[in-house]
Amino acid sequence: MVLADLGGSITRALKQMSNATIIDEKVLNECLNEITRALLQSDVQFKLVRDMQTNIKKIVNLDDLAAGHNKRRIIQQAVFNELCNILDPGKPAFTPKKGKASVVMFVGLQGSGKTTTCTKYAFYHQKKGWKPALVCADTFRAGAFDQLKQNATKAKIPFYGSYMESDPVKIAVEGVERFKKENCDLIIVDTSGRHKQEAALFEEMRQVSEATKPDLVIFVMDSSIGQAAFDQAQAFKQSVAVGAVIITKMDGHAKGGGALSAVAATKSPVIFIGTGEHMDEFEVFDVKPFVSRLLGQGDLSGFMNKIHEVVPMDQQPELLNKLQEGTFTLRIMYEQFQNILKMGPMSEVFSMLPGFSNELLPKGKDQDSQAKIKRYMTMMDSMTNEELDSSNPKLMNESRMMRIARGSGRQVREVMEMMEEYKRLAKIWSKMKGLKIPKKGDMNSMTRNMNATHMSKILPPQMLKQIGGMGGLQSLMKSMGSNKDMMGMFGGGGEQ
């Protein structure tokens, strides 16, 4: 079962239970068995699921349920909390400090995505002002150094490796020393992988670790390995001091349940997840939004953070003011398109919005959407300042449209289509008038201020339907606006 289906299965199990007239132990057990089955099919380790079931039974008081309290919510809350508990080992991973040299060593099986992830990790930090460097201590796989070199060059990150030297320990030590001298503050060591766990791999890893004394060892795991996740993660943990986990390939058909098992096995937190082959398809991992998504709901705070990440700081207050005023010009549309392109694949960004499922925005459509945006931007490049800064669509008469089409080498029909898109966005924008927008990190105030009516106006009708209409939206927003009350996370209404 893939992640997206898990939420649906759990919600269905809860719904069935809610429909029962009397909630007794039998009905509760049936519901929990259904949830257990769903989790097992998502590759969560058997023991974890069994413990979770026991814990939920301890928490959920049958007398409360019988008294007609909101059964669904009580159990939803218990499942949500239990999943969060599994994913939160209770202690944060070592966090490197900018300006102070830290060595981070990556370990994992061959093909888990280690080399790709090293570069993504370096690139992520580089964008935040760090001075990362990459060391290729993988002498086992021919071509590993070339791959790292290629990735590092693309991202303009210094790298170190050798075609001749076959001793990974020697390369690792030399690389780390060199980059320490060059004042790099994040020295990332990529190690060899093997097809399967074997003594030679673990011995090599141990030696590299002993020689380079990493501040953090990151275990990289492919999310599709399924039930083997627990044993694999544990084997690595027993050889080197794994302090954090990165789960790759969370896009596609991954069964994300293995993530939970890896945390349990290493007692280390997941710090990032890989969501694609590209350098920027890499997300910081947060337990609550992840569980919320695991259970089929969106991650509004992740979406807003992404916006804060890509809209340049100096543009943010200006943009937010314009949003509050409700005036929308073609120039604003142009700037937003630029930001959207920077955000990375659109389906990934939109999957953070509640209700936006993969079916609604299939991954394969990303390229089409991006090409369309680029086409619109080319046409806007042929506009005058007056046209770009006007919020009056009537200004764009036929002769202007013909001139723009000629100037950009596109058809008049396409300019008209772009203007339709502009009008559609302007309409949505005008409905945001008066909205209070929070500063970065204060997402709760955003959800408090943005009421369900505001939201219902800007959501596409089919999405609103998917959430469960106004009722579903209200309960969803309530749940996202309050940390104490995560109960509506499953999109369920307030039925008893």
Ligand X SMILES: Nc1nc2c(ncn2[C@@H]2O[C@H](COP(=O)(O)OP(=O)(O)OP(=O)(O)O)[C@@H](O)[C@H]2O)c(=O)[nH]1
Residues in contact with ligand X by CB under 6 A are 108, 110-116, 138, 141, 144, 147, 193, 248-249, 251-252, 274-277
Strand order of the β-sheet with 132-137 is 159-160, 132-137, 186-191, 102-107, 216-222, 242-248, 270-274, 282-284
Structure tokens at 302: 């992740």
In the complex, minimum distance from the CB of residue 295 to ligand X, in angstroms, rounded to a whole number? 21
Residues contacting residue 326 through CB under 8 Å, at least 6 positions apart = 429, 430, 431, 432, 433, 434
Contact between residue 118 and residue 172 where contact means Cβ atoms under 8 Å apart: no
DSSP state, residue 315: G
The CB-of-357 to ligand X minimum distance in angstroms stands at 19
Rg (CA), the chain: 25
Alpha-carbon dihedral angle through residues 8, 14, 18, 20, given to the nearest 10 degrees: 110
Query: Minimal distance in Å, beta carbon 86 to ligand X?
Result: 22
Look at residue 112 and give its three-state secondary structure: coil
User: Considering beta carbons, is residue 36 or 112 the nearer one to ligand X?
Assistant: 112
Q: How far apart are CA 56 and CA 82, in angstroms?
A: 7
Q: Which is nearer to ligand X, 28 or 107 (CB)?
A: 107
The helix (run of H) or strand (run of E) holding residue 415 is helix 412-430
Token pair, residue 299, equals 């991650």
Cβ at position 230, least distance to ligand X in Å: 19
Pick between residue 112 and residue 347 the one whose CB is nearest to ligand X: 112
Closer residue to ligand X (CB): 147 or 444 = 147
What is the smallest separation between the CB atom of 64 and ligand X, expressed in angstroms?
Answer: 42
Nearer to ligand X, 141 or 431 (CB): 141
Nearer to ligand X, 74 or 169 (CB): 169
Residue 17 or 229 with smaller CB distance to ligand X: 229
Q: How far is the CB of 305 from ligand X (least distance, A)?
A: 19
| CB 43 to ligand X: min, Å | 17
CA nearest to 31, candidates 75, 67, 85: 75
Residue among 237 and 249 whose Cβ is closer to ligand X: 249
Backbone angles phi and psi of 243, in degrees to 5:
-120, -10
Smallest distance from ligand X to CB 481, Å: 31
Which tokens go with 366? 């990303």
Cβ atoms 435, 447 nearer than 8 A: no
